[in-house]
Amino acid sequence: MILLLISLAPVITILLYVYFRDKYEKEPIGQLLKGFFSGLLVFVICVFVELLISALYSSGNVYVKAFYDGFIVAGFTEELFKFLAVMLLFWHNRNFNEKFDGIVYSVFVSLGFAATENIFYVFEGGLSVGILRAFTAVPAHALFGIIMGFYIGLARFDEKRSGLLLWSGFFYAWIFHGLYDFLLMTGNAWFVLLEIPFMIFLIRKALIRMRRLSAESVFIKTDND
């Protein structure tokens, strides 16, 4: 029970934070649960896809292998399926009526994925792994979701640039996810230490984007009223 709580506590904390940052019109709980549990399904799909992709390439060079595993096996696969889940479930959903909703739905899908992944890692590695991931992997998935959702939110209300914005949302989430994993997978202590400024950069970037969409959602609500 303790390991389960350690696994889910950071997920629930971040979900509540994002939920209450949606100040003007909260999303229906049913829709949020749908997003969260779709993230669980995405995790299951990614496990099988990543096993197949991993088997396609092997290298004796630790940095090349880390690049492949970080950017292709994990980053590309996971962010692609998260992106597809958000688009399939919410792009045409009538509840997606504010720019900030793009962030909300993307984060719920991302943290559904992160919760499932975290349970596996924590039950295998124990309490210390759970505490470490509470400050690293779980927030990272949320940050990737915020960045992706920022562009999805913009695209939803900008028909002329929607294609470019959607591509940007997937692309930046993929590249940031890939870099996060690459730094860890090299096993190089200096590269691993770079995760600290990188996470600070991502947090700052995500908060700025949340503030922007929160402000712009006011104008959309006003126009609709």
Domain hosting 7: range is 2-224
Please tell me the distance from the alpha carbon of residue 41 to that of residue 38, in angstroms, as a whole number: 5
Q: Is 188 helix (H, G, I), strand (E, B) or coil?
A: coil
What dihedral do alpha carbons 48, 187, 82, 116 form, nearest 10°?
A: 70
In angstroms, the Cα distances linking 187 to 62, 78, 122, 199 are: 8, 21, 20, 17
pLDDT in tens, the chain (225 residues): 788 999 999 999 999 999 999 888 899 999 999 999 999 999 999 999 999 999 888 777 899 999 999 999 999 999 999 999 999 999 999 999 999 999 999 999 999 999 999 999 999 999 999 999 999 999 999 999 999 999 999 999 999 999 999 999 999 999 999 999 999 999 999 999 999 999 999 999 999 999 999 888 765 554 444
Domain count, the chain: 1
DSSP 8-state class, residue 28: P
